[in-house]
Amino acid sequence: MKPTLDPITLEILFNGLRSITDETYIALTRSAYSTNIKERRDHSTAICDADGVLIVQAENSLPIHLASMIGLMDSLLAKFGRENIHEGDLFVANDPHVAGGTHLPDINLALPIFEAGELVAFVCNIAHHADVGGMVPGSMAGGMSEIYQEGLRIPVVRLFRQGEMQQDLFDLMLLNVRLPEERLGDYYAQIAACRLGERRLREMIGKYSIDQLRAAFDDIVSRTEQRMRDGVRTIPDGVYEFEDVMDDDGLGAVDIPIKLRIEIDGDSMHADFSGTSPQVQGNINVTMNATQAAVAYCMKGMLDPDIPNNQGVLNVCETSAPEGCLLNCVAPAPVAARAHTSQRIVDVVIGALAQAMPEAAVGAANGANTTAVFSGIDPATGQGYLYLETLGGGFGGRNDRDGTDGVQVHITNTSNLPIEVIETEYPLRVESYGLIEDSGGAGRYRGGMGIRRVIGPIGHDCTFNGAGERFRHEPWGIFGGQPGGRGRFVRVGADGAEQGLDIKPAGVTLGAGEKVIVESPGAGGYGNAAERDADAIATDRAGGKFSAEFLSTYYGAIGSGE
């Protein structure tokens, strides 16, 4: 019989578990090699129970990784069964179609923890490796129509079998990726983080009884679920609908619809994406568990940002989408750029619930994961380099304040790379980095502004790949707010001539003296522009973020400063 824990004992145990995932998260950030991990924090750490239920995730873990953790657990337990999981095993996987992943560069590890011969928990982490093989360096480029082209697919397999490293398998994995020495460093960091989590969990097991710990696992999830349900109950019952489109998939499909119908009934909700486009050839498809993770992110953000990250949240966010559609894709759909689509799912959920939750809703954010990748051979060293960066943009206007300018939004929160680091590590020069005039949609509370970066190679030819969204369709405003500015990619020749590039340009060669202008979208405003506070307009004008023409167009006489 499991003990029932009082709220004090439970808080103390929960505190200890959070401490473990936060510690392993930081250890992984600091010791990894991939820029995605060390600087952009594209990784997560978690503890799951013996049934694969997600109990606790590090505070800064990314929402989409919530999906991968659970996907991995489901696949692992389905494939092996508890009877074939042994002490000293360490599992690895990345495949979205057979192993619960969301795209190939996210490498998932799970270490089962045993006590007295019995499976108690799994210590897990996920990290975005800078390369997992495939057609193009970085394994994130568009232009491919099958997942086979995107990199090495790893089903759930044992990297360690009862304590013994499976060197043959590891050799195969490393042979299929670029810069294997660096990836080895990432794997070491991930394995060390698992072992660290194991050590800490064992210390806790030593302090408390196994039964107490198991009771804590169950209580944490059920209390979180109840808390989430209490939140859902505050939304008026009803059916809420919204529709938006993705710009394109990089392979010819344009204006790809995402359609949502959310039904709220008491403390239950169901998000149904029927009517959404079938999966596309390009790499913006999303697996079902990633779709659910995006819905869960949004519900948490709108209802209760401080609610713990665990299975309890997902249990409430029932989500469905027809099999084979953009948001529930099946093999061999390519998925590398699923983050763009995840951002759009969030906007669509907000759009649907705006009327029901006007104080929590925000204008459409930059709705993209604007990506710029530069690769080439460094003329000074003769070595290949690959520099990937995602740019933030505008965050939507809010019910009581403007949207934030130049920031990562919703499901991503990755840091930029300092210019002094970019230029030291890569033969590139950043000519400017700033906010784009007039890119925040007007409104009572205006939308945030997009970012412009101008960058080019020094003394050699390099290749540019990019991926944008909301380059065709502006991020919409809400409750009368105006849309924000669109993004774009522009190539600037040595003579200064500008040439617009595709939304998802691939294989663009830049010679010495040439450069690329990367502009991320702004965001939509909240409420009618006529209601904007005069002081706020004065600030817009004084700081030069908005032109006189823009201000007089949207705010009339006050805007023109008369």
CB neighbours of 135 closer than 8 A, spacing ≥ 6?
Answer: 141, 144, 149, 150
Place of tokens 């924090």: 41
Q: Which is nearer to other proteins, 431 or 461 (CB)?
A: 431
Residues 432 and 452: beta-carbon distance below 8 Å? yes
Q: Is 501 in the site for other proteins (CB under 8 A)?
A: no
In three state form, how does the secondary structure of 111-149 look?
A: EEEEECCEEEEEEEEEEECCCCCCCCCCCCCCCCCCHHH
Q: Which is nearer to other proteins, 143 or 363 (CB)?
A: 363
Q: Is 177 in the site for other proteins (CB under 8 A)?
A: no
For other proteins, the binding residue among 280, 435, 442, 492 (CB under 8 A) is 435
**Least distance between other proteins and beta carbon 544 (Å):** 6
CB neighbours of 516 closer than 8 A, spacing ≥ 6?
Answer: 372, 454, 455, 456, 464, 466, 489, 490, 491, 492, 501, 508, 510
Q: Is 398 in the site for other proteins (CB under 8 A)?
A: yes
**Least distance between other proteins and beta carbon 31 (Å):** 4
Concatenated DSSP letters of 509-538: EE-TT-EEEEE------BS-GGG--HHHHH
For other proteins, the binding residue among 116, 424, 497, 535 (CB under 8 A) is 424
Tokens representing 277 are: 């486009």
Q: Is 438 in the site for other proteins (CB under 8 A)?
A: no
In the region spanning residues 447 to 486, those forming contacts with other proteins, defined by CB under 8 A, are 451, 454
Q: Is 432 in the site for other proteins (CB under 8 A)?
A: yes
In the region spanning residues 535 to 554, those forming contacts with other proteins, defined by CB under 8 A, are 542-545
Residues 254-262: contacts with CB under 8 Å, at least 24 apart:
254/472, 255/472, 255/473, 256/280, 256/284, 256/326, 258/326, 258/327, 258/341, 258/344, 258/345, 258/348, 260/345, 260/348, 260/349, 260/351, 260/352, 261/352, 262/349, 262/352, 262/353
Which of 472, 484, 400 is CA-nearest to residue 439? 484
**Least distance between other proteins and beta carbon 213 (Å):** 15
Q: Which is nearer to other proteins, 341 or 416 (CB)?
A: 416
Q: Is 512 in the site for other proteins (CB under 8 A)?
A: no
For other proteins, the binding residue among 157, 253, 407, 558 (CB under 8 A) is 407
**x/- letters, 306..335, toward other proteins (CB under 8 A):** xxx---------------------------
In the region spanning residues 98 to 157, those forming contacts with other proteins, defined by CB under 8 A, are none
Q: Is 413 in the site for other proteins (CB under 8 A)?
A: yes
For other proteins, the binding residue among 21, 44, 47, 63 (CB under 8 A) is 63
Tokens representing 115 are: 């006590």
Q: Which is nearer to other proteins, 289 or 404 (CB)?
A: 404
Radius of gyration of the chain (CA): 24
- At position 393, the amino acid (one-letter code) is G
Stretch binding other proteins (CB under 8 A), from 100-108, 109-117, 368-376, 410-418: 410-418
Q: Which is nearer to other proteins, 14 or 476 (CB)?
A: 14
- At position 103, the amino acid (one-letter code) is H
Task: Give CA–CA dist 383/72, Å, rounded.
Answer: 36
**Least distance between other proteins and beta carbon 415 (Å):** 4
**Least distance between other proteins and beta carbon 520 (Å):** 10
In the region spanning residues 214 to 233, those forming contacts with other proteins, defined by CB under 8 A, are 223-224, 226-227, 230
Stretch binding other proteins (CB under 8 A), from 80-88, 93-101, 106-114, 415-423: 415-423
Q: Which is nearer to other proteins, 256 or 361 (CB)?
A: 361
**Least distance between other proteins and beta carbon 373 (Å):** 17
Which of 499, 252, 508 is CA-nearest to residue 372? 508
Q: Is 245 in the site for other proteins (CB under 8 A)?
A: no
For other proteins, the binding residue among 249, 304, 378, 519 (CB under 8 A) is 304
**Least distance between other proteins and beta carbon 300 (Å):** 5
For other proteins, the binding residue among 115, 241, 423, 502 (CB under 8 A) is 423
Rounded to 10°, the helix 210-233/288-303 angle is: 70
- The 10 Å Cβ neighbour count of residue 167 is 9
Concatenated DSSP letters of 332-367: T---TTHHHHHHHHHHHHHHHHTTT-TTT-------
Q: Is 171 in the site for other proteins (CB under 8 A)?
A: no
Report the DSSP beta bridge partners of residue 561: none
Stretch binding other proteins (CB under 8 A), from 59-67, 113-121, 438-446, 459-467: 59-67
**Least distance between other proteins and beta carbon 446 (Å):** 14
198, containing H or E segment = helix 180-207
Q: Which is nearer to other proteins, 16 or 466 (CB)?
A: 16
CB neighbours of 100 closer than 8 A, spacing ≥ 6?
Answer: 67, 68, 70, 71, 72, 73, 74, 75, 93, 108, 289
In the region spanning residues 26 to 45, those forming contacts with other proteins, defined by CB under 8 A, are 26-27, 29-33, 35, 38-39
Q: How many residues bind other proteins (CB under 8 A)?
A: 84
**x/- letters, 353..372, toward other proteins (CB under 8 A):** -------x-x----------
Q: Which is nearer to other proteins, 282 or 485 (CB)?
A: 485
Which of 369, 327, 392 is CA-nearest to residue 467? 369
Q: How far is CA 458 from the centre of its chain?
A: 31
Task: Give CA–CA dist 302/350, Å, rounded.
Answer: 8
Report the DSSP beta bridge partners of residue 466: 372
In the region spanning residues 181 to 210, those forming contacts with other proteins, defined by CB under 8 A, are 181-182, 185, 188-189, 192, 195-196
Q: Which is nearer to other proteins, 515 or 532 (CB)?
A: 515
Q: Is 87 in the site for other proteins (CB under 8 A)?
A: no
Q: Which is nearer to other proteins, 262 or 329 (CB)?
A: 262
Tokens representing 91 are: 């599992």
